[in-house]
A and B are shown apart, each in its own frame.
Chain A
Amino acid sequence: MSNLLDIQNLTVKVGDKQILNGLTLAMKPGEVHAIMGPNGAGKSTLASTLAGREDYDVTGGSVTFNGEDLLALEAHERAAAGVFLGFQYPVEIPGVSNLNFLRTALNSQRKIRGESEVSAAEFMKIVKEKAAGLKMDMDMLKRFVNVGFSGGEKKRNEMVQMAVLNPTLAILDETDSGLDIDALRTVSEGINAQRRDDTAILLITHYQRLLDYVRPDVIHVMAKGKIVRSGGPSLARELEERGYADVA
């Protein structure tokens, strides 16, 4: 089977600083991969680069998504093509309600894909169902995007957005950080629901716990801007016990 995501030798500069140093990683449909690695390794930089952040300068390498050159697309086109980034630090947007944001996003993606818009009623039906699954109160969704949300609530809100937008590739940057024990289970169920034969999920995490709920096929260790080691699920335990000293 061909790769859904194929990153070859990616190098990225942020400002004057080279952050990604020839990163290579490939994922097939149906797979879940996890990236672990020390703080500052470049994990979020990779995630933001894939999502199309403008101020990140790709200086070399290639990213192919679904056979297409992902780097040639603008951020909104990447989303419409099926890429979703769960932010490590979701952004607060005063004055824009979650519902308006999400409906605009969904319909904008559909328009780019040449699909018809969903009506207000259809949209509400989808959101209610997905919010209930993630135990997110509808009243919170009427509020401004992430404004006044607790750290855990922001992460859960990311998962509601993922569920509604239904991406082919979900890159989840420390979605488990800041979640209480029950929320971690709820969010994990949300991630597992997104796990299908035709989707791929890239988890960025520091903790074994998430990986107990969402079992990855492959674990990568990233350090100094590249993948330094890859292995099966047992690699996480090994890292948990020994730290990054041997690998990174």
Chain B
Amino acid sequence: MLNAAYTLYEGFAEAQDGLGAFRTAARERLATTDWPHLKTEAWRYSDLKALKAEAFAPAEAADAKVPTPLVADMGQLVFVGGHFRADLSATPAFAKTLDSTDGLALGDDAPALLAALFAGHGLALDVPTGTDGGSYEIVHIAPAEGRSAHARIKVSLAEGASLTLVERFTGDTRAWSNPAMDVTVAKGASLRHLRLIEEGETTLHTGRAHVRVAGGGAYQGFGLMAGGSLTRFEAHVTIEGEEAEAGFDGVMLAGAHQSHDILTHVTHAVGGADSDQVIRAIAAGKGHASFQGKVTVAHQAQKTDANQSFKALLLDRTARANAKPELEIYADDVKCSHGATVGELDRKAFHYLTSRGIDPATARRMLVEAFMGDALVRLTDETLMETVSTIIAGWMQAHEEGAAA
């Protein structure tokens, strides 16, 4: 048996919601798929033993207190334990219950297949041609202790449409969040997608997004990993048209015993498009941050411009960071760059600040914030930057003791 949760499939199999074939396909593939372990290349930095051993049964519908939006006046779309709750949401006209498997990625590892197996009660956002869908906050409230949530969201932006989504994961239970998002960005459309993990430090989180971007379209993803005990996010982005722009940026804050892991795979299927990734990680205490970034440039994808930058800052000797950049380039006329560094706080800069009268804690905070700056500026929007900065400041305060200079 793969995972104890697998046995609870029966209830989902019967749901008449148009996703039956998808779940059946997931079940069939699960039968021949092993649970990932540390020797599985894509999972070498995240240890899923706990998930395999414990029966995190899918959560049933439950009530929950909805937190106030991070950005005042931003409409909320609420999930509780992986179930979309229209009754708690300010649902726009372009939103409806997910009832078709079109454009849903099955995935190929066990956690992704389980997300497919338990897909249901999901949300579809279809922004029509030329429409600005505005900004929405998607709140995921973690399920009860010992339960799992498999929120499924499909986002389709038609030609020239635009949308901003601030997805946040909250709650403070030892539960398993296993969400999946499927995104299609049509010609000239533009999606900004923030993913903020603020769950408690016992929550397990494995999430993924599959994104396809057409010519002239833009997908700009940003992940903040502040909470969670084991947090993993995958962004699989495929560029399918010229002059498209795609990127996934992020900040990982791994303190105490937290383990954060971002995996990105950007595929340039067509040339003349840009991709950029700027990821910064802070690890303190026994925290562990890792980044695996793969860029594939197809044979015909000439004039591709792909850049990737990962930097980690270790605040304690016990903290760890790993980076595994990977370039797979089949075209010959491309500009691809990647850089990965792991370092400690710059003692000279620290001394310069303190010798001007800045106390050590503030000096450390200034340097840490400056270090994350390259990633934060990629949000371009002041309000979003402030929102993310506030969560970062909260994490830093909570982890101050783990970062003694």
Contacts and interface: CB of A to CB of B under 8 A. Distances in A.
Interface of B is mostly: helix
A95 B355 contact: no
Interface in B326-358: 346-349, 351-358
Given A55-B347, A91-B348, A91-B349, A108 B357 contact: yes
Contacts of A95: 367, 369-371, 373-374
Interface string A79-91: 1100001010011
Nearest to B374: A95
A72 interface: no
B352 A79 contact: no
A53 interface: yes
Interface string B236-264: 00000000000000000000000000000
Contacts of B362: 104, 108
B357 A112 contact: yes
A168 interface: no
Contact of A101 (B346, B356, B359): B356
B160 interface: no
Contacts of B373: 94-95
B42 interface: no
A106 B353 CA distance: 11
Contacts of A51: 351, 355
B358 A90 contact: no
Residue in A53, A54, A75 whose Cβ sees the most chain B Cβ within 10 Å: A75
Given A55-B347, A74-B360, A104-B362, A79 B371 contact: no
Given A75-B351, A87-B352, A93 B358 contact: no
B385 to A, nearest CB: 13
Residue in B354, B357, B360 whose Cβ sees the most chain A Cβ within 10 Å: B357
B13 to A, nearest CB: 52
Contacts of A126: none
A106 B363 CA distance: 13
Given A51-B355, A93-B367, A94-B370, A76 B347 contact: no
A55 B347 CA distance: 10
Given A75-B351, A91-B348, A93-B352, A105 B357 contact: yes
Contacts of B53: none
Given A87-B352, A93-B353, A76 B367 contact: no
Interface string A89-121: 011111110001110111011001000000000
B371 A76 contact: no
A91 B358 CA distance: 15
B356 A165 contact: yes
B38 interface: no
Contacts of A85: 355
Contacts of A91: 346, 348-349, 351-352
Contacts of B355: 51-53, 75-76, 78-79, 85
B352 A90 contact: yes
A93 B370 contact: yes
A74 B374 CA distance: 31
Interface in B352-393: 352-360, 362-363, 366-367, 369-371, 373-374
Residue in A52, A74, A105 whose Cβ sees the most chain B Cβ within 10 Å: A105
Contact of B358 (A53, A76, A92, A144): A76
Residue in B354, B363, B369 whose Cβ sees the most chain A Cβ within 10 Å: B354
Contacts of B348: 91
Residue in A78, A108, A112, A165 whose Cβ sees the most chain B Cβ within 10 Å: A108
A199 interface: no
A126 B26 CA distance: 67
Given A93-B353, A93-B370, A101-B353, 17 more contacts: A52-B354, A54-B351, A74-B354, A76-B356, A87-B352, A91-B348, A93-B352, A94-B373, A95-B374, A96-B367, A96-B370, A100-B366, A102-B356, A104-B366, A108-B359, A112-B359, A145-B352
16 contacts: A52-B354, A53-B355, A74-B360, A76-B358, A79-B354, A79-B356, A91-B348, A91-B352, A95-B367, A95-B369, A96-B366, A105-B353, A105-B358, A108-B358, A165-B356, A165-B357
Interface of A: 51-55, 74-76, 78-80, 85, 87, 90-96, 100-102, 104-106, 108-109, 112, 144-145, 161, 165
For the complex of A and B, 4 pairs with smallest distance between CB atoms: A95-B370, A79-B357, A109-B357, A105-B356
